[in-house]
Structure 1
Amino acid sequence: MIRKRRKRLDWLTLICLSLCLSVAVTWTRFYPAEISQTTVTASEEIRGVWITNVNSGVLFVPGGTQRALDQLSQLNFNTVYPVFWNRGTTFYRSAIARRVTGRFQDILLNFVHLGEDVFSDIISQAHQRDLRVIPWFEYGLMAPINSQLVKRHPEWVTLPQSFRFSATPSLKELENALLPNYPPSNKNAGWFGIKNVWLNPLHPQVQRFIEDLIIEVVIKYDVDGIQFDDNFGMPIELGYDWYTRKVYKEEHGGKLPPNNPADPEWMRWRANKITAFMKTLHDRIKAVKPDCLISLAPNPREFAYNESLQDWQTWVKQGLIEELILQVYRDSPQAFLSELEDPAIREIRGKIPVGIGILSGTMAHAVDIEQIQQQVQVVRDRQFQGVSFFYWETLWSYFTPDAPRERRRVFETLFSPSPS
């Protein structure tokens, strides 16, 4: 069990590192510098930002979220995507999480706010400022190996090909599985070197847990929608756990899954199972709250399918999602434009609103305001529905490469009452 004192030290270390960040990004001038008119009106345009606990202290500072929402409202943002789940824990008081993990809320959040319902406060304050609130299922099915969720349910974890465990692997077996290659992805390493595993989206108990969490939020809070992200899938290297192998054999005349994780049929079979799970989630959400928007913030189509078996193009065709915010975190102007011009994006734009996720910076990668300004212009020039920025802490904080006041001034220009 992670003790409160250790968690608090980790958080303080994170804040200190954040304040020391001074990395600058070189930008090649390629986009038009002027902000021109778009046919998407200010009231229709998505002007969003993700609010997370990762490399960010806004949730843990008393009054932090109120100040953040005040600034966003003053600068004419209209949508927030606050984290309500990541890394095996919830950021609201969850009876479902308590039942499954033994904890009803993130330890540090609970410690700082003394058990107060910060999530409810965010929703109430955001709506008072005419901001849409679409809670974000961040990190999807990823969870740290040392989380209470994984410790209590190691059988829920999906595994790479090189491991053959029983239906109920021990935590020690999982830890051994992580040592060399689980899976070969940079997403493996979490905070302070803690490794992540993936819950199996095909496992019925995992599905029930995720469904119950989502429905709990939809029923308990006055949310405008729910958003899933790029980690709501399964890395291509995984799926060789006992349960998935059993189901595959039952549906393939006793055959085991191919040794090649990139085998087209094996990829399609797993992707279809994830799509079926997404349909179940869609149907349950709509059954309890028909007007709850189902949003998705995926990686570009080819990467999403080939790396995470996330077939979001099919999800759109089947009517399972109603808003798509494509993550296009690219510094290169050519790479940024290339993702916007994907034929799959052109195809779905006539079906649902499509916005573009723009990187405003990370703890290790600063993004200057000129790049942000120019990328917003490219999105508008191509008549997308709007933008969302990853993430709040890097919009105009003190570890950005430009002065916070200058960055806020640019956002004020970008998000004037009528985009121009």
Structure 2
Amino acid sequence: MASRLRIRITAALAAGTAACALAGCGIPALGGESGGRGPVTAGAEAECGAVAAPGDGGRSRQLRAMWIATVAGIDWPKDTGDPAAKQRAQFTRLLDTATAMNMNAVFVQIRPNSDAFYPSPYEPWSQWITGTQGKDPGYDVLAFMIKEAHARNLEFHAWFNPYRVSRQDDLNKLSPKSPARQHPDWVRKYGAGLWYDPGIPQVRDLATRAVMDVVAKYDIDAVHFDDYFYPYPEGKEFPDQATYKAHGGGMDKGDWRRGNVDTLVRSLSGKIHDKKPWVRFGISPFGVWRNASTDPRGSDTRALQSYDDIYADTRTWIKKGWIDYVTPQLYWPIGDPRADYAELAGWWADQVEGTDVQLTIGQGAYRVGKDAAWKDPAELSRHLTLNAKHPQIRGDVYFSASDIVSNRRGFAARLREDHYPRPAIPPIPAGRGGKAPPPVQDTAAVPAGGKGVKVTWRPSQGATSYAVYRVDGKRPGCAPVDPERLIANVRGGGIVDPGAKPGRTYTYYVTALDRLHHQSAPGRGATVTSPQG
């Protein structure tokens, strides 16, 4: 059975179809009509008790996501010369793959190099869309991406790179509209590329304005930074001596650099939450803060230190509550002598303990099959098994989408079979407000006219999505609902459940969730016998 399931999932991933249909998950119906009935309002009477506490090791409340990198065609678009319609179709196939994997979020790179995947008043259109920086692709790419993600009930985390300017070092090759061309004194050549100097206040202002423009104009769920702050060391000092002389104020240079990054993180956190309290701010740092040999508070590792080498003091950001989630990039295997995944998972779990910061783990899907340590396609599955020992770990994010699609050595199908057999609701972020909508009413279940069961309900006021649970047999109208029976978390007013076995009797329950995943009590269950086929 297990081998046949793996084959089915592998085929679904390759074809870009809904693997959950094959595995028995709910599929969202088109549209969100409610049969002309108005939504349930806050004054409606609650019908049943709450969903039971998870008994599944937290698998029903996890963030499951993949990064979609846009720089250099890593994930999307693969070819800047493709027409817009073809590019859009490629993007939606990536989202369908996320849905097939029972993921619930995507982290999409929208400002890779001081440029934009949207009409920006501050920066030119990205070269990674059309091949030419500043060239209008003819549509609002970001608006399209958010709409398609939300249609599949995938959270959209807008991924910004605050300081990178270009992967090449000639300013004249940038658009005349680039702030780097207009303010060359903000720019430093380092390695093979161009970087803004984080010590210049106007640079921090530009990054802040770029982020806040998107927060104000678009319905994103989170702002996301990755690990690029000061550039990774490339054998020589980052050329900010003049900036340090002008702004250092006698501080130790390392402390000054960390202070520059801290200032951006702290300030931006406050501005985002003041503008839209429900929008989260998360960062995905390099996986080692400091080695214990340098600092007893660090991890038992022997690797580059983000605190010392790229001036990212992630531990302080957690302790100060400047970020809502942290997703360290733990791209090492279990047992690695330099940086053991098991050691680092435990270390990061300890850092968030007692804080409101959610911990998810950045997983190196790109590494599968690349060398002897990653030859076994079950390595990432073992990571998730180990994560279950740490209740502070609330999910995983995979780099990157192309690797999930390629399913090298069957690793993605293995993850889905071992850990993602059904959908999951993201955890509730602390301190961001929100409340559960009123329970849904008029849940109905009928044979779907050939195969499966159609489940509908009356929408609930203030609800963003709906969780659907399927229980074997006829159950009372009100009964405790086991979260392990979750089959779908969708937007709209109904699903078709193709996983209902012919001739079997089921009871369906539906709950309403707000955009921060606060969950209502279930409405009264609807019982149906699936058609014989």
CA pair 239-291 structure 1, distance change in 2 beyond 3 A: farther
Report deviation, 1:156: 0.9
Q: Count how many residue pairs are aligned between Structure 1 and Structure 2.
A: 327
Q: Deviations over 1:395-417 (max 9, x none)?
A: 131xx5425xx733642542122
Contact in 1 for aligned 2:369/2:408 (Cα 8 Å): no
Q: Deviations over 1:160-188 (max 9, x none)?
A: xxxxxxxxxxxxxx5xxxxxxx4xxxxx3
**Are 1:285 and 2:272 matched, yes or no?**
yes
Equivalent position of 1:273 in the other structure:
260
Aligned ranges 1:83-94 → 2 under 5 Å: 83-94=109-120
TM-score w.r.t. the length of structure 1 is 0.70
Separation in 1, partners of 2:261, 2:221: 24
Report deviation, 1:246: 1.1
Separation in 1, partners of 2:56, 2:394: 10
Contact in 2 for aligned 1:234/1:309 (Cα 8 Å): no
CA pair 374-354 structure 1, distance change in 2 beyond 3 A: same
Separation in 1, partners of 2:345, 2:138: 43
CA pair 247-295 structure 1, distance change in 2 beyond 3 A: same
Aligned ranges 1:99-248 → 2 under 5 Å: 103-106=124-127, 108-109=129-130, 114-138=137-161, 140-141=163-164, 143-144=166-167, 145-146=169-170, 148=174, 149=178, 150-158=180-188, 174=189, 182=190, 188=191, 195-233=192-230, 237-238=237-238, 240-248=240-248
Aligned ranges 1:360-371 → 2 under 5 Å: 360-361=365-366, 365=370, 369-371=377-379
Separation in 2, partners of 1:379, 1:412: 16
- Give the root-mean-square deviation of aligned CA atoms: 2.8
Equivalent position of 1:374 in the other structure:
382
Report deviation, 1:154: 2.5
Equivalent position of 1:165 in the other structure:
none
Separation in 1, partners of 2:100, 2:369: 28
Report deviation, 1:238: 2.5
Separation in 2, partners of 1:284, 1:379: 33
Equivalent position of 2:43 in the other structure:
none
Paired AA for residue 70 in structure 2: N
**Are 1:326 and 2:343 matched, yes or no?**
no
Q: Deviations over 1:66-124 (max 9, x none)?
A: 11112211321011100011133222222210xxxxx2333534779942222211111
Equivalent position of 2:413 in the other structure:
408
3-state SS in 1 of match to 2:228: coil
CA pair 74-401 structure 1, distance change in 2 beyond 3 A: closer
Equivalent position of 1:56 in the other structure:
74
Separation in 2, partners of 1:358, 1:131: 19
Q: Please identify which structure carries the higher strand content.
A: 2
Equivalent position of 1:47 in the other structure:
64
Contact in 2 for aligned 1:369/1:410 (Cα 8 Å): no
4+ residue runs over 4 A deviation: 110-113
Report deviation, 1:146: 2.9
Equivalent position of 1:353 in the other structure:
358
3-state SS in 1 of match to 2:312: coil
Q: Deviations over 1:229-283 (max 9, x none)?
A: 11124557336332222112xx23xxxx8xxxxxxx3212221232122212112
Which structure 2 segments of 5+ residues have no match? 1-54, 79-86, 291-304, 425-483, 485-533
Equivalent position of 2:460 in the other structure:
none
Q: Please identify which structure carries the higher helix content.
A: 1
Contact in 1 for aligned 2:363/2:397 (Cα 8 Å): yes
Separation in 1, partners of 2:423, 2:240: 52
CA pair 156-329 structure 1, distance change in 2 beyond 3 A: same
Structure of higher CA gyration radius:
2
Contact in 2 for aligned 1:69/1:126 (Cα 8 Å): yes
Contact in 2 for aligned 1:96/1:104 (Cα 8 Å): no
Report deviation, 1:297: 0.3
Paired AA for residue 153 in structure 1: H
3-state SS in 2 of match to 1:350: coil
Report deviation, 1:139: 7.1
